[in-house]
Structure formats: structure tokens, C-alpha cells
Amino acid sequence: MAHRTTNAPASQELSSHWSTHVADPNAPTALERRARELAAAWNEPVKDRTAFIAQRVRGRRALDIGCVAHDEERMKSPAWLHQHVANAASECLGVDVLESGVDAMVDAGYAAVVADLSKAPDALVGEGLFQVIVAGELIEHVGHLDMLFDAADRYLTADGELIITTPNPYAPARVRAGRRGEIWENVDHIMYAFPSGIAELASRHGLLLAEARTTDRDLAVRTRPLTWLKRTLRRCTYHRRGFATTVGVVRPITMDRRDRLDRLIDHVMERLSSRHRFTGETAIYVVRRRTLP
């Protein structure tokens, strides 16, 4: 599915921070503005975050912040994100605070440097600008939340984008665990990044939350019966004998009636997709500059 690149929230109405229009962050006007901003950013779920990121960096110059895995042994796994970013990008630089991990990456032939952008935000000034900055499963670990948005402001090209992936706080299993007081995730996590919070952090840095989505491998499974029904309706259009069922024979339907049923099925599938739009395991946020060239 092609990604949406709407400029709706970058309109004159939403081009500035809410505080320039209202003093109270709980004011209905402030909440309405944020709701419109998020509504413009919602996108359909994707099956896999790694494939999504690889597609976005393909042929572009990329910076991967936090490129070293928690356990350096994971860098030998096919699931290691950085290798997919480096393979897809036209040029890729990794940056991390873990010196031993960066040394291992350099020995393996990757371009990577040691730097703590929260303490030295200008550390990469000599590296130029990047079309994509990737922060995969990082924001939930860092104490300096401004770091990623400072980096985006400093190092993104005018039409570049910051891609953040992080555990989705609204994933049903995570919500249930929180209600029960169960601890089952990485104890190094210090926060969950929710859509409005990312929109606020972006806005404070003159940036825009352009896309918000989750990974959802099961969406196709949930809509499969409706897809089958739609194909069946098309097959039985104008068929002379209809088709057999356990309760008899379904007679041919007219083209007009089939089209009406098609639209109804499309509506139900859209509603089903919308209901599960932000319940996947991983949240994906795409941040851009507010003014495109």
C-alpha cells in the first residue's frame, strides 16, 4: 500500500504550536486541534516494521540512531534492523553509544561511529544531511527525549523524515499486563510513546507527526471472510444457475445489486480495519518538517 503524504496538518490552521492559540492544554480548542492533527496522520497497519523501514530508506541516504542491538550476538541475527537499513539505503551511517558494538560493526564492514547525541548533538555535523533518520525501538530507552527531534532538526534534509518505531502502548496484551501489574517486557524501558505525545514533541521542535500506524500481522486474517464473500458475489453475477449451498441454490444477482453489496462489504472491511488500526504490537511514527520544499 502506498503511504499517504497528506499536508493537511501543515495547513495554516495547524502550522504552529497549540500554545500560540490557547493557554490551556485542556481547552476544547486545543484538544480539537490535536485530534485533527492525529486524524490526518493515521494510516493503515503494516505487516512488518523492518520491511516498512527498508522500503522507506531504499535508495536514500540514511542515519540509524541506536544501531547496536541490546545484545551484540543479535547483530548476527537476520532480524537485526541495521543490516536491512544498510542494505536498502544508498548510503547508511550508524551511530550508537556502545563502543564495543560499534567496533564490531566496523569490523563487519558497516559505517558506524560512537556518539551520544543527547550530550553532543553536533557530533555528526561533519557527516552532512540525511534523507531518512531511523530510530528503531530506541525512544523507550532514552532519558533525553528531545535527542531524536533535535537530531531530526539538525540532520534531516528539507524533505527528509524521522522514522520512530517503539512498543505500542495500546496493544491489547500490553494493556492487560499493565492492568494486572505484570512485568514481562525489557526492564530498560522507561516510557511508552503514544501518538499525541509524539505529535507534541515534534511540534515543540517545529516538526510534524506526518504518519502514525502499527504493525498488525492479523488484519488480513480478520478480513479474509469478507474478501471471499466479495469474490463469490462477483462470480455469481449473471450466472445462469447460481451456486449450491447447504440451504439450497443462490440465484444469480444483478450487476447493480452486486455493486451495492460490494460497497457494503468495502465499508465493513474499512470499519474493521479502522477498529484495529492502532492495536498492533509496534507503533510506527513518521516525523517530517512542517514546510516541504
SS3 136: strand
Tell me how far apart the alpha carbons of residues 17 and 207 are, in angstroms, rounded to a whole number. 10
- CB of 68 within 8 A of CB of 121? no
Phi first, then psi: give them for residue 125, nearest 5 degrees: -55, -40
Residue pLDDT tens, the chain, 293 long: 334 444 444 444 556 888 888 999 999 999 999 999 999 999 988 989 999 999 999 999 999 999 998 776 778 888 999 999 999 999 999 999 999 999 999 999 999 999 999 999 999 999 999 999 999 999 999 999 899 999 999 999 999 999 999 999 998 889 989 999 988 888 999 999 999 999 999 999 999 999 999 998 655 555 566 566 666 666 655 444 444 444 455 556 666 776 777 777 666 666 655 555 688 899 999 999 987 54
Q: Output the DSSP codes for 99-122.
A: HHHHHHHHHTT--EEE--TTT-TT
Q: What is the three-class DSSP state of 237? A: strand
Which three cell numbers, joined as nine digits, stand for 282?
509496534
- 130: Cα separation from own chain's centroid: 19
The CB density around residue 118, as the number of other CB atoms within 10 Å, is: 16
Torsion angle in degrees (nearest 10) through CA of 66, 278, 289, 142: -30
